[in-house]
Structure 1
Amino acid sequence: MTGLFGYVCPSGAFVREPGEERPLFEDPAVPSGRPGTRAPHVRLSRAGAPVSTRDLFGTGFTVLAGAEGGAWEKAAAEAARSLRVPVETHVVGAEAGLGDPAGRFPVAYGITSTGAVLVRPDGIVAWRSPGEAGLVELEAALRTVLG
């Protein structure tokens, strides 16, 4: 059912946020980026060419960090090594790499420029840290998702 636009997973392999309500659908035109929802499409740019956030997901987990979230790259590499799972990291809106020409990425994913989200291989948001966090929190989220 994750292929339905606006579908919200009622439970499963993601970290619920404290005190949140779990409606079964949200308006796909106004995505929340909450854990348990499909990762929102945001048009980015790479080397001048358009790319969607959804094009960044592969066969492993993906961490998408805000423009000032470079520390997430190291945290994701350490968590991947520790748990022996593939984790790819992208910093969105930083000087080099992925641009965010419309500035939509942080709002669509509910994070700040220092925050990050963890996306499962199927494109479902597994966890997010609206602001700065680190290895301990990311590793704990991966352990929860992996069961």
Structure 2
Amino acid sequence: MAELIDPASALFGYRCPAGAFVPEPGDGALFEDPVAPSGRPGARAPHVPLGGGSTRDLYGRDFALLTDDPAWRAGAARAAQRLGVPARVPALDGDWAGAHGVTASGAVLVRPDGIVAWRSAAGGDPEGIERALRTVLDR
């Protein structure tokens, strides 16, 4: 008999098994607890209250790069220009980093539909954003 899934978990906790994101090693579970989202690629981006709304308000038309690090911001601008793909890099406040499983110097790329496409836990290689975008767009 199939296991019953709570409707909220099925709707808000579903994790894509494959597709337009850069996968991370993991348990392969198709669902996560929507009350404690992981921020993993393939999952819905966690809701984080911001000063004028929420991270959910950032998604819809363009990719969004969540970061406070100027190097990641510059890397996103270069990648968007090279690939001709609009990517927003909004100003952030609140604990967006912790909610997405990265440090304050990390970065999270979110697709327009609110699914996490890629993340880097800490500062590092700003060119990684372009590689991530290329991977996502090629899938």
TM-score band (shorter)? 0.7 to 0.9
Sequence identity of aligned pairs in percent? 54
**Per-residue deviation, 1:106:** 1.6
For residues 60 and 76 of structure 2, the distance between their equivalents in structure 1, rounded to whole angstroms, comes to 15
> Which amino acid in structure 1 is aligned with residue 88 of structure 2?
E
The residue aligned with 1:86 is 86
Tell me the amino acid that sits aligned with residue 42 of structure 1. V
2:15 maps to 1:8: yes
When structure 1 is superposed on structure 2, of 134-143 and 122-131 the one drifting more is 134-143
Q: How much has 1:134 moved relative to structure 2?
A: 3.2
| Richer in helix (by share) | 2
Query: Within 2, Cα distance between the matches of 1:38 and 1:64?
Result: 14
TM-score, normalisation: structure 1: 0.83
Q: Residue 64 of structure 2 contacts residue 87 of structure 2 at CA under 8 Å; is this kept in 1?
A: yes
Name the residue aligned to 1:62. 64
Equivalent residue for 1:105?
96
Residue identity matched to 2:66: L
Secondary structure class of the residue paired with 1:126 = strand
Q: Does 1:34 align with 2:36?
A: no
Secondary structure of the residue aligned to 2:90 is: strand
Name the TM-score, length of structure 2 as normaliser.
0.87
The gaps in structure 1 that reach 5 residues or longer are: 93-98
Aligned to 1:96: none
State the superposition RMSD in angstroms. 1.4
The answer (yes or no) to whether the contact 1:78–1:135 under 8 Å persists in 2 is no
Question: Relative to total residues, which structure has the larger strand share, 1 or 2?
Answer: 1
The number of residues matched between the two structures is 129
Residues 15-69 of structure 1, C-alpha deviation per residue, up to 9 Å, x if partnerless?
A: 011x312101000110100000001100010xxxx3110101131111001x4x1
Quick one: distance in 1 between partners of 2:125 and 2:109? 12
Task: Pick one of 105, 124, 145 that aligns with 2:136.
Answer: 145
Give how far 1:91 is off.
4.0
**Structure 2 unpaired stretches of 5+:** 1-9
1:117 aligns with 2:102: no
